[in-house]
Copies of this chain bind each other. A is one copy, B any other.
Amino acid sequence: MSTALLTDHYELTMVQAALASGEAHRRCVFEAFSRRLPDGRRYGVVGGTGRFLEALEQFRFGDDEIRFLADRNVVDAATIDWLAGYRFSGTISGYPEGECYFPYSPVLVVESTFAEGVLLETVVLSILNHDTAIASAASRMTAAAGDRPCIEMGSRRTQEESAVAAARAAYVAGFEATSNLEAGRRYGVPTAGTAAHAFTLLYDSEREAFTAQVQSLGKGTTLLVDTYDVRTAVDLAMEIAGSELGAVRLDSGDLLIQAKEVRTQLDAAGNTATRIIVTSDLDEHAIAALAAGPVSGYGVGTALVTGSGAPTASMVYKLVQRENGAGEMENVAKKSKDKASVGGRKWAMRRRNAGGVAEAEVIGIGERPQDDGNDRPLMIELVRDGEVVDHQDIHEARSRHAAARAELPRAATQLSRGEPVIPTVYEED
């Protein structure tokens, strides 16, 4: 499917006016960055780079798209002709997916003509803002969960395609699996799930429901034990599946107290290997509070897919440099006081101390200085002359994120509200 119309109307009218006046083909540099982290967060996690690259490859104005634009008079005939032949032919670099970012980190840098680059604004921001919001929230959850696995199960709380993207972003940020089957098919994210309350209610008794589930899905299945009475259900589960019972799931009530009670009950009966999975409106704070409980894994839904209070990152896509009338490249920036940006094409690296701990996000304009061994360059080439050269494998992104988070000062994963854990520093050329 073409992604070309996942675009704001004004990107096309700007192209029209610039084509007519002759400035459309000036060389430009656009930059995606955020002026701030989500409220109170200490670091952010870049999400969506790989999805953007997929969208870029599908960004074509085919017959259907052209017909719509013509029928609705969105732009004039000259612009339609130009759009019909549109292929992005520029260069894109940026932070790889899973990398941590901070205020003003140049997460994506697009170098192309004005017309080629401006058209990508909406799809760049839609994807980065959503996936980054989810990855940033997910990382706090997996940090709070420590060695215990987190399973993403928020599909029902977000738009159906956002659900697929959220499952992918959560995986990059350390989630083990997702309930979303399409994320399994499209991106290879492991999928998981057993049964809901409706399954228990379908049967004339809980005994029949548990028996049916164990017979079909095996003793290693996870039985949902809070449809009627938890204590009765746990006894029943052990009676039916025996010591091989895989797990029980708690989805309501005070999870910490219940987990302790159920653990005692399971252990007393010899089911020491049966795990306890908790779900029910968990967020990073609830996960942290459950660290004290005998919990084997967390299922996270609403809070994950809504970014845990920050459903969108605040990335913007700004023109920072362009060719002038004399053919020279010139830094540009909007002057409005409350939304200032910094002109010029950026480089970025993470400054680390001798112990390998991050100390600053260092950003500069012009040539990046030589690596002194401690500074880690942050930007990679993603697209060269219109061809995607690095597709951003999600399994690599997941490893990358784990490493990048581990490199941050320990305060990064504190859940209390705070400032960015390292400062952003502009270095002069």
Instruction: Let me know if A196 is at the binding interface, CB within 8 A.
Output: yes
0/1 string, A193-205, CB within 8 A of B gives 1: 1111111011110
Q: Which residues of B contact A261 (CB under 8 A)?
A: none
Instruction: Let me know if A14 is at the binding interface, CB within 8 A.
Output: yes
Contact partner, A213, options B17, B74, B318, Cβ 8 Å: B17
Instruction: Let me know if A346 is at the binding interface, CB within 8 A.
Output: no
Q: Which residues of B contact A160 (CB under 8 A)?
A: 3, 6, 55, 122-123, 126-127, 130, 161
Q: Which residues of B contact A227 (CB under 8 A)?
A: 334-336
Q: Which residues of B contact A251 (CB under 8 A)?
A: 336, 339
Cross-chain contact A198 with B30 (CB below 8 angstroms): yes
Total count of chain A residues near the partner, CB < 8 A: 105
Given A228-B335, A252-B336: A202 touches B129 (CB 8 Å cut-off)? no
Q: Which residues of B contact A3 (CB under 8 A)?
A: 160
Given A13-B195, A253-B336, A336-B226: A6 touches B153 (CB 8 Å cut-off)? no
Cross-chain contact B9 with A204 (CB below 8 angstroms): no
Cross-chain contact B191 with A74 (CB below 8 angstroms): yes
Which of A89-97, A178-186, A391-399 touches B? A178-186
Q: Nearest Cβ distance between residue A277 and chain B, in whole angstroms? A: 12
What 5 A-B pairs come out closest when comparing CB atoms? A10-B193, A9-B193, A21-B212, A125-B156, A161-B161
Question: Can you name 21 A-B residue pairings with CB atoms under 8 Å?
Answer: A8-B179, A9-B184, A9-B191, A10-B194, A13-B195, A17-B215, A18-B199, A21-B212, A64-B185, A65-B185, A68-B185, A123-B160, A125-B155, A126-B163, A130-B159, A130-B160, A156-B317, A158-B312, A161-B162, A197-B318, A253-B336
- Given A7-B182, A23-B202, A197-B319, 6 more A-B residue pairs with CB atoms under 8 Å apart are A13-B217, A30-B198, A118-B198, A159-B162, A253-B336, A306-B311
